[in-house]
Amino acid sequence: MTGAPTSSPTGPRPEDTRPAPARTLDVGRLAQADRVARRREEGTGAGDGTVSQRNPYRPTMKRTWFLATKEYRAYFLREGAAVVVGLFVLNLMLGMVSIAAGLDSWTWWVDLQRNPFVLVLNVLALAAAVLHTVSWDQLTPSIIKVQRGTRFLADGWIIAQQVLLLVIFAAVMVAWLGGAWS
Amino acid sequence: MAHSEAGGVMTVEVQRYRPDVDDTPRLVSYEVPWTQDTSVLDALNYIKDELDSSITFRWSCRMAICGSCGFMLNGEPKLGCEQFLRTYAPGPLRIEPLANHAVERDLVVDLEPFMTKLAAVEPYLHPDPTGTPEPGNLQTPEQMTRYGQFAACINCMLCYAACPQVGLATDFLGPAAITAAVRYNKDSRDFGNAQRLPLLDQEDGLWPCTFVGACSTACPKGVDPAAAIQQAKFAATMDWATEFVMPHHGAPGAKDGGHA
């Protein structure tokens, strides 16, 4: 065993000039509490000064903290996926600008979509969108609470409602783009 | 390492830090005999009783209700009394103080920042300013269900050790304090919402939360602090939006968003 302290102070500390604590009443302890409270107000912190030898160790987070646990990795995947979606949106906006700029630039943008990097970006963006959809559905039941008496509606119902809304929205969009109202 | 179904001897590595001697903490290994019902707290008490009386750690109830014995066990925040050595067989088991906290000595961390944050949200009933409650200040089981889950918090600070945002933004109010605020805001007997909202709805209030969700996984009492924080975000956003429609909650001349 190597952990035994070798130089911890055991005798009375030279700087300790407090009067002996009262033995019969708790007056001494209250006075001590007052001193601690006063130090806190002065910003020197409870336990600092002559009462103890505080020397707290302040750990720092590693630069690679987001790899430490499964949850952190999942969280960073969610956050990182937003970058891919952002690049996809930039590409889409470029397409809109090129339509406005005329046929030549539009042809250029359509050709650009055959670029392997853009193809990979599109595939990654699809994966990111699926990830965000799934994690959104997983997390929503934590926020949307529907109370029925002394119970809450089961998570499955909240997720089902989300999926139902998505299906309705997608169906309306497909019908609209397909010219159902034209 | 000798071990079997019934138990054996496990190497337990404990992070030691002596504030008067050490500059940085270090791991010290101990050989601890264990059986099926040896908890991590039992192991620490064995070390203190039999191997090294200078080892320092907090504990009290041994039954996961006092919230004193939170440690990092192999890097995960857990209550020492609730975890058993058999889970970590054949070992070694690494015991460290709660992450994201200043270490005072060995496994003891500084509670002061958390206590300050918890007290800041005024986690107690604010009575109705317009009248005296009925004798007993009763509420129905349905009213209790609204906040019941969030009332199970034992302030063990495992969620603070689990949350990377607490480590990155040290002034973040944090999971348990926000949950305590939500618990009282949802209480039918409480009228302190207006006092708590300005504290929650600020940069270091609930907004540093990025919904990592690690607090809810770490919670030994099933409180789900992540849910409480997201619900508080939703409530704060609704309050912000309501200001456009009905400034100061419709109270004429009220300052600070009607938070009288």
Can you give the CATH number for the domain in which B150 is found? Answer: 1.10.1060.10
Number of domains forming the structure of chain B: 2
Return all residues near A129 (Cβ < 8 A) that are at least 6 apart: A85
Residues B124 and B87 in one domain: no
Nearest by CB: B168 against A5, A57, A61: A61
- Report chain B (260 residues): mean pLDDT per 10 consecutive residues: 71 94 94 96 97 96 96 96 95 95 95 92 90 82 95 97 91 95 95 91 92 95 95 92 79 46
Model confidence pLDDT, tens digit, residues A161-175: 989 999 999 999 999
| B166, closest residue in chain A (CA to CA) | A61
Secondary structure of residue A61 in the 3-state scheme: coil
Question: Do residues B216 and B224 lie in contact, with contact meaning Cβ atoms separated by under 8 Å?
Answer: yes
Model confidence pLDDT, tens digit, residues B209-252: 999 999 999 999 999 999 999 999 999 999 889 888 887 666 65
Strand B76-79 to strand B70-73: parallel, antiparallel, or no bridges (unpaired)?
antiparallel
Rounded distance, CA A152 to CA A73, Å?
Answer: 30
Residues B136 and B206 in one domain: yes
Contact A5 B18 (CB under 8 A): yes
Model confidence pLDDT, tens digit, residues B165-198: 999 987 899 999 999 999 999 999 999 998 999 9
Residues B53 and B155 in one domain: no
Top CATH class of A64-128 equals mainly alpha
Residues B93 and B134 in one domain: no
Residues B162 and B239 in one domain: yes
Residues B205 and B98 in one domain: no
A58: which chain B residues are within 8 Å (Cβ-Cβ)?
Answer: 102-103
Q: Which two tokens stand for residue A10?
A: 């055991």
- Domain boundary (B109, B141, B175) is at B109
| B104, closest residue in chain A (CA to CA) | A56
Strand B7-16 to strand B93-96: parallel, antiparallel, or no bridges (unpaired)?
parallel
Contact A61 B76 (CB under 8 A): no
- Domain boundary (B88, B109, B130) is at B109
Beta bridge partners of B35: B7
Separation of CA B16 from chain center: 23
Task: Look at residue A7 and tell me whether its pLDDT is greater than 90.
Answer: no
Contact B20 A9 (CB under 8 A): yes
Rounded distance, CA B258 to CA B260, Å?
Answer: 6
Residues B88 and B119 in one domain: no
CA distance B95 to chain A (A): 15
Where does residue B52 fall: left (phi above 0), alpha (psi -120 to 50 degrees), or beta otherwise?
beta
Q: Which domain holds residue B148?
A: 112-258
Return all residues near B83 (Cβ < 8 A) that are at least 6 apart: B39, B40, B73
Residues B64 and B169 in one domain: no
B28: which chain A residues are within 8 Å (Cβ-Cβ)?
Answer: 1-3
**Which of B154, B141, B2, B145 is CA-nearest to residue B68?**
B154
- Domain boundary (B48, B74, B109) is at B109
Residues B69 and B158 in one domain: no
Mutation target vs A (from B13, B212, B215, B216; most A CBs, 10 A cutoff): B212
pLDDT of residue A41: 63
User: What residues does each domain of chain A span?
Assistant: 22-54, 64-128, 144-182
Residues B242 and B134 in one domain: yes
Contact A65 B104 (CB under 8 A): no
Q: Which two tokens stand for residue B195?
A: 């006092």
A11: which chain B residues are within 8 Å (Cβ-Cβ)?
Answer: none
What single DSSP character describes residue B159?
Answer: H
Residues B128 and B205 in one domain: yes
Rounded distance, CA B17 to CA B161, Å?
Answer: 18
Contact B217 A54 (CB under 8 A): no
pLDDT of residue B137: 84
Residues B121 and B249 in one domain: yes
